[in-house]
Amino acid sequence: MEGLSCRQPTAKACASGSASPAGRLVAFHDLVYLKSGAVHRSNTLAIGCALLVIVLLSALRSTAQTTDSQTQTRQDQETLRVLTEEVLVPIIAYNEHEHADPTLEADDILLLEDGMPQQVRSVRRVPADVLLLLDTGGDVNPAKDLKTTRAVAARLIAQLRADDRVAIMQVNERVEILQHWTTDKQTAARAVMERLFSGRRSRLAQALQVAAEYLATSSSLNRHLVLFTDGAGTSLEPISREALARKLMQTGATMHFFDYSELGREEIARREAIVRPRERSRVAEEVLRELPQQARPIYRTPGGITIDLDRQRRQRIEEYKKAMRDGAAQLRALAAETGGIARSPASTEEMLARAEEVARNIAAQYIITYAPRRPLGSASEGERRRIEVAPRRAGLQLKARRAYVYVERKPG
C-alpha cells in the first residue's frame, strides 16, 4: 500500500495520538475498525484508500457503460427514419366577387390526380417570388418597345404585396439579371426604368432556360415567372421545346404571359406592304437646308407612296411573323399548363390593366399539399401526373396547374 498517493497525508493525520483521525478517510477507518477490530490504525487508513480507489474505478466503469448505452441509443434513434410523400400544388382562389378568397380551407377543394380523388392535407398562403423576364430584342415588332415594357412592368411591381420578392431579367443579344430577389419595390422599379435597354435580336429560348435555373434557387414555395414578349426567339427543335417546357414545369412556378404579337400585328403588316404611303420626306435634312427657302416645305411634306423592292427584308418579316405565331402558341399553352394567365392586349392601356390582373392572381394564390394515393416511390424520374381541381363551396372559383412533373429530391 506504500504506492498510494494518500500515504503521506495519512501519516500526518495519525501522528497526533489516539484521537479519531480527521479528514475524509474517517468513514473508511470506522468501517474497517468495526469489521476487523484489531487492525492497526495506519494499515486501516491504507485499506481505506484502497477501498476508495475501488469505488472510484467502479463508478468510472458504470459511467462508461452508461455513456456506451446512451451512444447506442442515440445511434438507434438516428437510424430510425420515417419516409413521407407530399405534393405541393399552387392554386388560385377567388370568391363570387372576383376577389381573392381569404377563407379557403382544405375541405373546400376537390382534388384529383390522374382521375383519382386525393385528400388535401393543408392550405396556406406564403409570400411569392416573382421573376419578370423582359424581352427587349428584335427590330421587326415596333410594339415591343421600351416605353411600353417599362410602364407595364412598373405597374405590376407596384401592385405586388409588401412581403413578395421580385427579380428582373432582360433578354436581347444577351441574357442579364438586372435585379436579384428583393422586397424593395422601388429598387426593382428603378432597375426597370434605368437599366433596361433594347437590342436587335432576342435570345428568348436561352433566357427561358436561365429563368428556369434561377427560379429553381428560390426559397419560396410560391414562384411566378412573368414573361413580356411576342414569342419570337423560341424557335427550337420539337425535342428541345419539350425539354424546355419540362424544365420550367419542374420549377413548380406559375407562368404568366404578356403577348406583344397582337399589339404589333397591324404595324408589322403595314411595314410588310410592298406599296405603302410615304410618311415623311426621304430627303436628308442637310440637303433641304441647301434648297431655296420657298422650296423646303414642299420637300418636307409627307406624301406620295413608297415602293419596297427589298425582297430579303420582306422575307425576314414573314419569318418573324411565323416565329411569333409558333412561339406565342407554345407560351400560351405553357401558361395554361402551369395555372397562369396569357393575355394578348390590343392596346397599351389594356396591357396596363392586364398587369393589375396578373398581380391579383399572384395575391390570390395558395399552396396546398396532399399525399398521393399512388405512391411517388413507384414513379419514374420526370413522370408527369395530371391534376384537376374543383370547388366544393358555392361561389368559390379555383384554378390550378394541369399537371406536375416528379423530380426526386436527393438527401442532403
Convert the pLDDT of each residue in 42-55 to its tens digit: 455 555 555 555 65
Closest CA to 354 of 262, 268, 272: 262
Amino acid, res. 58? S
Residue 95 clears pLDDT 80, i.e. is over it: yes
Q: Between 385 and 19, whose confidence is greater?
A: 385
pLDDT of residue 366: 93
The answer to which of 107-111, 223-227, 231-235, 393-397 has the lowest mean pLDDT is 231-235
Instruction: Put residue 307 in one of left, alpha, beta given phi > 0 → left and psi -120 to 50 → alpha.
Output: beta
CA max distance for the chain: 147
- Angle at CA 362, nearest 5°, toward 356 and 363? 90
Residue pLDDT, tens place only, 102-149: 999 999 999 999 999 999 999 999 999 999 999 998 777 878 889 999
The answer to which of 213-217, 304-308, 323-327 has the lowest mean pLDDT is 304-308
Distance between terminal CA atoms of the chain?
58
Q: Is 193 helix (H, G, I), strand (E, B) or coil?
A: helix
pLDDT of residue 279: 56
- Angle at CA 292, nearest 5°, toward 288 and 298? 60
C-alpha cell at 245: 417546357
Q: Between 310 and 312, whose confidence is greater?
A: 312
Residue 361 clears pLDDT 70, i.e. is over it: yes
| Mean pLDDT of the residues in the chain | 76
At 171, give phi and psi (nearest 5°): -135, 130
Average pLDDT over residues 260-265: 82
CATH 3.40.50.410 location in the chain:
87-273+308-405
pTM of the model: 0.69
The Cα–Cα gap between 100 and 359 comes to 11
CB burial of 63-83 (b: ≥16 within 10 Å; e: otherwise) equals eeeeeeeeeeeeeeeeeeeee
Residue 240 has, within 13 A of its CA and on its CB side, a CA count of 9
Residues of the chain above pLDDT 70, percent: 67
Q: How far is CA 245 from CA 190, 251, 254, 410, in A?
A: 31, 10, 12, 22
Closest CA to 330 of 206, 210, 230: 230
CATH number of 87-273+308-405: 3.40.50.410
Closest CA to 360 of 216, 158, 212: 158
Confidence of residue 29 (pLDDT cuts 50, 70, 90): very low
Residue 75 clears pLDDT 60, i.e. is over it: no
